Amino acid sequence: MQGDAYLKCINPKCGLEYPVESTNVQCTNGHLLDVKYKKIPPTDLKEVFYKRRNSENSIFNESGVWRFRELLNFCQIDTENFEECSKYLVSLDGAEGRQSKPYQMSKAADFVGISTRNLWLQPEGYNPSGSFKDNGMATAVTHAKMVGAKKIVCASTGNTSASAGMFAANEGIDCDVYIPAGQIAPGKLSQAYQFGAQILEVNGNFDDALKQSLEDAQNHEGYTVNSVNPFRIEGQKTIPFRALEYLNWEVPDWIVYPGGALGNTSSCGKALMELYEWGWIKKIPRIAVINSDGASTLSDLYNGKFEDEEIRWNKGNPNTELISRYYDHLDKQGIKPKTKATAIQIGRPANILKGLRALEFTNGVVTTVSDSEMLDGMSVVGLNGFDCEMASGASVVGIKKLIAQEIIKKDDVVVGILTGRQKDAMLPVEYHQNPNNIFANPPKN
Ligand SMILES: *Cc1c(COP(=O)(O)O)cnc(C)c1O
Ligand SMILES: [Zn+2]
């Protein structure tokens, strides 16, 4: 196994490689990196993964992330040996990814206009810190431990800091969290404090906070755990892995995500590229990314709303100048990302190029939804007895919109990812007090 995993620049014209112990989040030419594996994992591992659902007291089998460890084996360990695993793998007692799998939700299906058996919604909010971020944080902190990092650093719209703080506390390492002052849901900020993270308030938005955290991580030997870290992407591959496993590896027609920094979109794309290349799947689901109307960078660029050009990965030759001009345009016009769904209030998605690659590989689509639509999506999930936050509601109403536009067909099988649980307690209260909202159930007096 020695030397099986390494890092490689995603730009095919550059292609620089680095050893797996590298903590770079970019190649020297400023391109994003992928974790790559030389060995092809055999498909009979499907049975091994299934058997591990009977965990036999191993937290690494219980974990919905490490259960798939052979498909993200950047530690290059003897994966059958528990002692060996414990030395390397970071896990919150097996809780990351453990509870998340796709469910059928009849009221949500009625609302979006598809039959109940064709719609699967996967609540990632049932992770230990309450969002999908734990899938990727378990792997990023594993890599941090592998390279001996004493401090992890992130910028956050809330859930990243909750997750990073939780794993850092559990591993006994420091954690610095850069947040846009005043723009974090209280339920997320309080988690970062509770887990003992050091909060650094930035006057600006998430994009400004990320810039500052990346600079400070470099200057003060911090280990960055934002989704620009390729090891985050590895752990988040297990979100589609679990969906596929629960569907008996029968590939759905669509996988739908809310789009923020596009780490999730990127990891789904990488998971599908690998599974297809390795012969694990024969069909490729289409990815749909749902932006907020108020933070629609990917949608604007992908759908030709800026300079009439539809940006594409273009086999590794994307028009990056178009992206730069778009950002200049935002700056010049003073346009800031604005939505109440703060988890996706991001103007400069750090993983946009990996996101475009994912969309190209899967023949994906991008659309936008409004704040009030997202609240409806969030609320209908609740009526099925499941909990999710406003940004996750984007998956539900995004599916509804794409069905109405006949882009998603009525007999397509769709998996929507519900990225996090409710941490903004007043949102449902306000929603239900307003009788004009579709699902409102106002209080009586
Ligand atoms: C982080 C986050 C997102 C955005 O995910 P990206 O990978 O940044 O696109 C969406 N929803 C929730 C709840 C999140 O915490
Ligand atoms: Zn490069």
In a domain, 340, yes or no: yes
DSSP 253: S
* Residue 389 Cβ contacting ligand 1 at under 6 Å: yes
Name the domain count of the chain: 1
pLDDT at 216 over 80: yes
* Residue 23 Cβ contacting ligand 1 at under 6 Å: no
Give distance in angstroms: CA of 361 to centre of ligand 2: 20
pLDDT at 64 over 50: yes
pLDDT at 191 over 60: yes
Give 200: exposed, middle or buried? Use CB within 10 Å, 0-12, 13-18, 19+. Answer: middle
In a domain, 152, yes or no: no
pLDDT tier, 220 (very low <50, low <70, confident <90, very high otherwise): confident
Average pLDDT value for residue range 36-54: 95
* Residue 344 Cβ contacting ligand 1 at under 6 Å: yes
Q: So what's the pLDDT on residue 143? A: 98
In a domain, 35, yes or no: no
The ligand that comes nearest to the alpha carbon of residue 417 is: 1
pLDDT at 183 over 70: yes
Identify which of 122, 132, 161, 390 to mutate to test ligand 1's pocket (most ligand atoms within 8 A of the CB). 132
* Residue 343 Cβ contacting ligand 1 at under 6 Å: yes
The ligand that comes nearest to the alpha carbon of residue 130 is: 1
pLDDT tens-digit readout, 384-432: 999 999 999 999 999 999 999 999 999 999 999 999 999 999 999 999 9
In a domain, 24, yes or no: no
In a domain, 351, yes or no: yes
The ligand that comes nearest to the alpha carbon of residue 387 is: 1
Three-class SS state of 36: strand
- In angstroms, the CA 173 to CA 37 distance is 28
The ligand that comes nearest to the alpha carbon of residue 14 is: 2
pLDDT tier, 1 (very low <50, low <70, confident <90, very high otherwise): very low
* Residue 260 Cβ contacting ligand 1 at under 6 Å: yes
* Residue 236 Cβ contacting ligand 1 at under 6 Å: no
Read off the CATH number of the domain in which 327 is found.
Answer: 3.40.50.1100
In a domain, 263, yes or no: yes
Domain that holds residue 123: 106-129+232-433
pLDDT at 37 over 60: yes
pLDDT tens-digit readout, 334-388: 999 999 999 999 999 999 999 999 999 999 999 999 999 999 999 999 999 999 9
Report the 10 Å Cβ neighbour count for 337. 23
CA angle, residues 227, 229, 231, in degrees to nearest 5 = 100
Q: So what's the pLDDT on residue 81? A: 81
Give distance in angstroms: CA of 396 to centre of ligand 2: 36
Q: Above pLDDT 90, what percent of the chain?
A: 92
In a domain, 163, yes or no: no
Ligand 1 atom with the smallest distance to the CA of 267 is: 7
- Residue-wise DSSP of 336-368: ----S-GGG--SS-TTHHHHHHHHHHHT-EEEE
- Determine contact, residues 339/371, Cβ cutoff 8 Å: yes
Average pLDDT value for residue range 243-247: 98
In a domain, 257, yes or no: yes
pLDDT at 36 over 60: yes
pLDDT tier, 3 (very low <50, low <70, confident <90, very high otherwise): confident
Rounded to whole angstroms, the maximal C-alpha distance in the chain is 69
